[in-house]
Amino acid sequence: MTKSREIRTKILKIMDLALKISPPDVEKVKGTPDVFVEYSAHCPILSVRVYIHGWNEKNGPDKAFWMLTFSEDEFEQLNEIIEYLQDLREAEQ
């Protein structure tokens, strides 16, 4: 697998975990986690924000990740995000 493809696969895994933690087809239950994932292709930046007890306008994220997808340690950072989201998902089940 090429480096570019591996990075893409990991970003898609992060988005998949975010959708499993905060499903788009289920009515939101107050107090459950919200995960925001943004990918800005022009820079290329990946941003992940996690609100453990749900988003609200008064509080910042409980955990935030921000990374350049072409940095020296991009795989380490991507794996850290994946591991964090997997742990969060398991804790919620």
Stated pTM of the model: 0.93
Region 71-79: what's the mean pLDDT?
94
Domain count, the chain: 1
Q: Which residues of 46-85 are buried (b: 16+ CB within 10 A; e: fewer)?
A: bebbbbbeebeeeeebeeebebebeeeebeebbeebbebb
Helix or strand holding residue 84 (H, E): helix 74-92
Q: Which domain holds residue 73?
A: 3-92
Question: How far are the Cα atoms of 30, 38, 74, 80, 85 from residue 66, in angstroms, in the given order?
Answer: 26, 10, 11, 12, 14
Q: Is the pLDDT of residue 41 over 90?
A: no
